[in-house]
Structure 1
Amino acid sequence: MIKKLENNNFISNFEKSNEYRRVIHGLIPGGAHTYSKGDDQFPINSPAAISHGKGAYVWDPDGNKYLDALMGLTSVSLGHAFEPVLNRVREELIKGSNFSRPSIIEREMAEKFLSLLPQHDMIKFAKNGSVATTAAVKLSRAYTGRKIVARPYDHPFYSYDDWFIGSTDCDFGVPSEIKDMTVMYKADDLSSLEMLFQKYPNQIACIISEPEKFNIIEPNFYDKAIELAHENGALWVMDEMITGFKTDYPGSIKKFNAKPDLATWGKGIANGFSFCALTGKKEVMNLGGIKDENSKKLFLVSTTHGGETASIGAALATMEFFEKNSVVEYNKTIGQYFIDGATKIFYNHKVEEYFSLTGFNWSVGLIVKNQKKEPCMFYRTLFMQEMIKRGVLYQGILSPCFSMTKKDIDLMLEAFNDSVIVFKKALEKGYDNFLIGSEIKPVFRKYN
């Protein structure tokens, strides 16, 4: 539990973290295996690595304890080292983790997950979200005979593969021919999508979009959007990588009774273990099959570790716990409790014009603004610095998990309140009098 820290008791010992930093960038490009965990995404006074976690908390190599606000980049929906999940993982580990033929647990997982999705008939496992979304793109191109992929320009990430990353500022190494095959529209905007179909008639293979990101979606939006795609000969791919197991169980596809042709799943399904999936209608998914003789073979997803049993066991245990414990509703309650408390803090300190809460109660984002009331990386970094100093590992997002309690959120709000006080002083005297080190940087940028 985070104790109230007096000014002389802030977390400040990062000796082992600093030693880790000195070594790691010579071993791993970027210092981590996702750029979202990189040093340039955190203030300098933050842990360089995590030694272990339990429940809603993590510890760094120096023994500092933090509330993990983002919960493993939103992948941990129940809690770190969550016993009901670990128990199933142990059961699978003692039986072996990978074989030369499929494990019987693969059928159990396929039947279980598809039972939640009356819209879909087949499933393919993967180990990361990029593999799943890229498989959806490949299927869509094969099914439609078209090349172009459409994605929202105001959504941050869909894949590290060329079809997506070539449409960002990080397009170094991507041939221009591939870049030209991804086009963009405004998320959740039918008129923007209509204009895209008019601009690229009979060329768009699929629309890929997260079902909920920043905006409140009308109940019948996906009926209209998917119908529009089909009228123009394109498939709809619903990317539930973030929304799955958060907006509803299993995700927004149920919440909106949506009927996308394909859907991708990942974060949250296996409580931090590596399990992702692509689901879809049989007529599309079966292009990746091997039973239809004389039909063209589509090399869909082929990964040695896709059937690794421990992670599949983790996913099954996570699903079982969700079904027995109303996890989605609980996590939303925790998120709303934070929203209410943070909003009150803003008004108490008369800084409501300098902060904006974004997203939803299942994923609460924060925008920090400067004196001109414009989003500012310097002030955002300062706010993160002050939160971390007070024992909250905070990247500007709260992703509630089942292990979090209102008491944990009270402690987070206490740190939030104190950080707002520092922010107010910085507004008056300048952030450079308070910020230690450099500001955080956008993940997608042309140059380091």
Structure 2
Amino acid sequence: MITDFGRSAGVQARLHDLVPGGAHTYARGADQYPEHMAPVLVRGQGCRVTDCDGNEFVEYGMGLRSVTLGHGYRPVVDAVTAAVADGVSFSRPTVTELAAAEDFLALVPGADMVKFAKNGSDATTAAVRLARAVTDRITVAVCAQPFFSVDDWFIGTTAMSAGIPPQPTVSFPYSDLPALEQVLAGREIACVVMEAATALQEPPPGYLTGVRELCDRYGTLLVFDEMITGFRWAAGGAQQVYGVVPDLSCWGKAMGNGFPIAALAGRREYLELGGLRTDAARVFLLSTTHGPETGGLAAFRAVVHAYATTDPVGRMEAAGRRLRTGIEEITAELGIGDRLCLAGRPSCLLFRTLDPDGNPSQEFRTLFLQELLRQGVLGQSFVTSAAHTDRDIDHTIEACRHAAAVYRRALDQGTVTGLLEGRPVAPALRAHAAPRRLLTEVAR
């Protein structure tokens, strides 16, 4: 059992002194893990990581779902090493940019052009900017899904909207065509931004086709966010799986197996408005110093090769199915399958933690995370990678056996008191950080 997080706690405290929030991504924050049990990592190999206390964990949701082939995946590392040895950034395009664009467009046949960047927010915001220029409209319709961008047009709609003026962004629910039509009919909408599917939401039959038809009818561009679905649902993303082609699509995460690279792709008639072959007023689309650096492009090309010659998606899904079966057998034996449940696509499994009354509970979630950590499992989900072996899945199932037994004890006594050490985790995007005193009192 893992109990020593002393060095991690010290490093985390120092990070809070120097980095706002103590991490560079809110989802990586210490408030997303049990108190005093937030490992600070030093290395990873495959799906296993080691923290600065020497603890080893089987990791899930690796790199916020960006690492699908495994940490230190040798073909990607070798490709990046060779590329950067010849230079990283130049004053003119490189032949690697052409090769990477050809690779990308061969994967996504509905797209005519692509432009690379370094993070997903740049790509989604460029899509919004382009849609506004094409349609001469301002308002954006965003599906009620977790996250699309750090930029004002989206963050202004969240609880962390301080410092952002009111935004012309409206929301619509997933899988409800009448609700979307009401939004499109009632306003001049530049674009519809959505994930075609999520871990918890597969599109009902005909839904995405209906979205496509509504956008065409109302002169609105359709933008698919493929940050998670790309290279996890399929190499060609959700649009490949469901057969619906958007006007624009935004990519990132797994396309570099953890190396920073993102992309905006779509129809030529739109993307050329950010180019040099148009007589129309030009759009400032994407202009980045590091978008075409050779390391990221080399990583992407190596990822494409891995997906063409092996079956990462199949391995992720097989690992997820095996994990689901093992955990559901345990929760059924304990009689808590309706309180500790798995949901989602096999390659993108999430766990739902409910209290004795059947309500979602941060306290019970934290208890489950705490017990998993003690058994050497790290993750806010059970999102698998192609690097998760049978051994890793067996380790996780045994960890869940222990964690589920503690969870059952908490359900029986009606509270996590005496079992949970410290404060519960909190939503990553929230308006106020609870004072330290309050966090301590909550734990009591």
Structures share a fold, TM > 0.5? Answer: yes
AA in 2 matched with 1:443: A
String of CA shifts for 1:256-310, please: whole Å, max 9, x gaps. Answer: 11110000111111110001101000011111112325x3121111110001111
Q: Matched residue of 1:25: which SS? A: helix
Question: Who is 1:436 aligned against?
Answer: 421
Could you tell me whether the CA contact under 8 Å between 1:219 and 1:256 is conserved in 2?
no
2:259 to 273, 280, 291: 273
After superposing on structure 2, the runs of 4+ consecutive aligned residues of structure 1 that deviate more than 4 Å are none
Structure 2 residue aligned with 1:261: 247
Q: Which deviates the most, 352-361 or 226-235?
A: 352-361
- For residue 422 of structure 1, the aligned residue among 364, 381, 406 is 406
1:148 to 125, 139, 146: 139
CA distance in 2, matches of 1:26, 1:47: 16
Which position in structure 1 is the counterpart of 2:269? 283
Residue 185 of structure 2 contacts residue 218 of structure 2 at CA under 8 Å; is this kept in 1? no
Q: Distance in 2 between matches of 1:257 and 1:394?
A: 32
Equivalent residue for 2:72, pick from 58, 81, 84: 81
* In 2: Cα distance, 1:424 partner to 1:256 partner: 39
1:220 CA drift (Å)? 3.4
- Report the secondary structure of 2:41's partner residue: coil
Deviation at residue 189 of structure 1 after TM alignment: 1.6
Q: Which residue of 2 aligns with 1:3?
A: none
Report how far residue 356 of structure 1 moved: 2.5
What corresponds to 2:108 in structure 1? Answer: 117
Aligned length: 431
Instruction: Name 2:52's counterpart in structure 1.
Output: 61
Equivalent residue in structure 2 for 1:412, among 388, 393, 396 = 396
Counterparts of residues 167-206 of structure 1 (less than 5 Å): 167-176=157-166, 179=167, 181-200=168-187, 203-206=188-191
Cα separation, 2, equivalents of 1:192 and 1:340: 36
**CA–CA separation in structure 2 for the residues paired with 1:146 and 1:445:** 30
* Worse overlay, 264-273 or 39-48: 39-48
**Residue identity opposite 2:111 in structure 1:** H
Matching residue within 178, 199, 215 for 1:229: 215
Per-residue deviation, residues 62-86 of structure 1 (Å, max 9, x unmatched): 1110001111110000000011111
Report the Cα distance in structure 2 between the residues aligned to 1:327 and 1:337, rounded to whole angstroms. Answer: 15
TM-score (norm 2): 0.95
Contact 2:121/2:148 (<8 A) preserved? yes
Q: How does 1:339-354 map to 2 (within 5 A)?
A: 339-354=324-339
**Aligned match of 2:431:** 446
Measured after TM superposition, the shift of residue 437 of structure 1 is: 1.1
Contact 1:45 1:385 survives alignment (8 Å): no
**8 Å CA contact 1:287, 1:297 repeated in 2:** yes
Q: Are 1:301 and 2:286 counterparts?
A: yes
Q: Name 1:163's counterpart in structure 2.
A: 153
Q: RMSD across aligned C-alpha pairs, in angstroms?
A: 1.1
Q: Is the 8 A contact 2:65 2:383 kept in 1?
A: yes
Q: SS where residue 431 of structure 1 aligns? A: coil
SS of 1:356 mapped into structure 2? strand
Structure 1 residue aligned with 2:383:
399
**What is the rounded CA distance, in whole Å, between the counterparts of 1:55 and 1:441 in structure 2?**
29
**Residue aligning to 1:134:** 125
Kindly provide the amino acid, as one letter, of the partner of residue 173 in structure 1.
Answer: G
Aligned to 1:348, what secondary structure does the other structure show? Answer: helix
Whether 1:217 and 2:207 are equivalent positions in the alignment is no
Query: 2:440 maps to which residue?
Result: none
Distance 1:52 1:317 in 2: 21
* Secondary structure of 1:73 counterpart: helix
Secondary structure, counterpart of 2:54 in structure 1: coil
Q: Which amino acid aligns with 2:281?
A: K
Give the secondary-structure state (helix, strand or coil) at the position aligned to 2:290. Answer: helix
Is 2:360 aligned against 1:375?
yes
Paired residue type of 1:343: E
Distance 2:185 2:384 in 1: 41
Q: Which position in structure 2 is the counterpart of 1:247?
A: 233
Cα displacement (A) at 1:400: 1.4
Aligned equivalent of 2:42:
51
- Flag structure 1 segments of 5+ consecutive residues without an equivalent: 1-9
Share of identical aligned residues, percent?
37
Structure 2 spans left out of the alignment, 5+ residues: 434-444
Is contact 2:114–2:266 with CA below 8 Å preserved after alignment?
Answer: yes
Q: Note if contact 1:68-1:394 (Cα within 8 Å) is conserved in structure 2.
A: yes
- Take 2:115 and 2:22, find their aligned partners in 1: how far apart are those partners? 31
1:14 and 2:5 correspond: yes
Are the counterparts in 1 of residues 81 and 295 from structure 2 also a CA contact under 8 Å?
yes
- 1:219 CA displacement: 4.6
Deviation at 1:142, TM superposition (A): 0.5
Partner of 2:63: 72
- Matched residue SS, 1:46: coil
Which residue of structure 1 aligns with residue 441 of structure 2?
none
Offset at residue 27 of structure 1 (A):
0.9
Show the counterpart of 2:81. Answer: 90
SS in 2 for 1:307: coil
2:224 to 238, 251, 255: 238
Does the 8 Å CA contact 1:186/1:192 hold for their aligned counterparts? Answer: yes
Select the residue among 330, 340, 345 that pairs with 1:360: 345
Q: Partner residue of 1:7?
A: none
